[in-house]
Amino acid sequence: MTYEIHHGNPNDSTRDAHECETYALLDSLGIEYDRVDHEAAFTIEACAAIDESFGTPMCKNLFLRNSNGSAFYLLLMPGEKPFKTKELSHQIGSTRLSFADEEHMQSLLGVTPGSVTVLGLAYDQEMNVQLLIDEDVIRDEYICCHPCKNTSSIKIRTADILEKFLPAVRHTPRTVKLKGFVE
């Protein structure tokens, strides 16, 4: 199955408010993007047809917390790479990491499960979430992610995320190198 690709903002007031706000922010920053609309996609596996339509794999976005819940992280990594908590915890000097709960996902990023995205950092006004990006994601020309709602996906130049979006939302990424296994 392939999806029809649309360029830019759908300008559809029936969409989720956070999704509309995301498009408006990207437009205000002069960031171009392509978009596909689809059934809700809750997993990276569900994004296979979206990947095929865009010709670029979807980025895995994981919302994590340390063991006592005092630190939150958003990890962007290639969808096909396995995630090993011990490997990442060691690299960033954190206690064991686990997935953050839905309440923090909503309050810090303005998203619900299945919709986690780097674009949710626009809602982290108090800078509570540290962005971690695997070096393989940075090397890719494009990042594909949800626009704060998992019924659409967008393809954006990685350079626009790093050079326009992140400075605008005052987040500085930390690069990590994930192998997908622990030695």
pLDDT in tens, 36-51: 998 887 777 777 778 8
- The boundaries of the domain holding residue 92 are 6-175
Give yes or no for residue 183 having a pLDDT over 60: no
| CATH number of the domain that residue 19 is part of | 3.90.960.10
What type of residue sits at position 26? Answer: L
Measured CA to CA, the distance from residue 31 to residue 23 in angstroms comes to 9
Task: Give the pLDDT band of residue 54 (cuts 50, 70, 90).
Answer: confident
183 domain-assigned:
no
152 touches 36 (CB < 8 A):
yes
1 domain-assigned:
no
119 domain-assigned:
yes
28 domain-assigned:
yes
* Verdict on whether the full-model pTM lies above 0.85: yes
80 domain-assigned:
yes
181 domain-assigned:
no
Tokens at residue 40, please?
Answer: 């809700």
Q: What is the pLDDT of residues 125-171, one digit of tens each?
A: 999 999 999 999 999 999 999 999 989 999 999 999 999 999 999 99
Q: Which pLDDT score, from 0 to 100, does residue 58 have?
A: 82
9 touches 27 (CB < 8 A):
yes
Burial profile 46-61: b = 16 or more Cβ within 10 angstroms, e = fewer: ebeebbebbebbbbbb
Q: Domain tally for the chain? A: 1
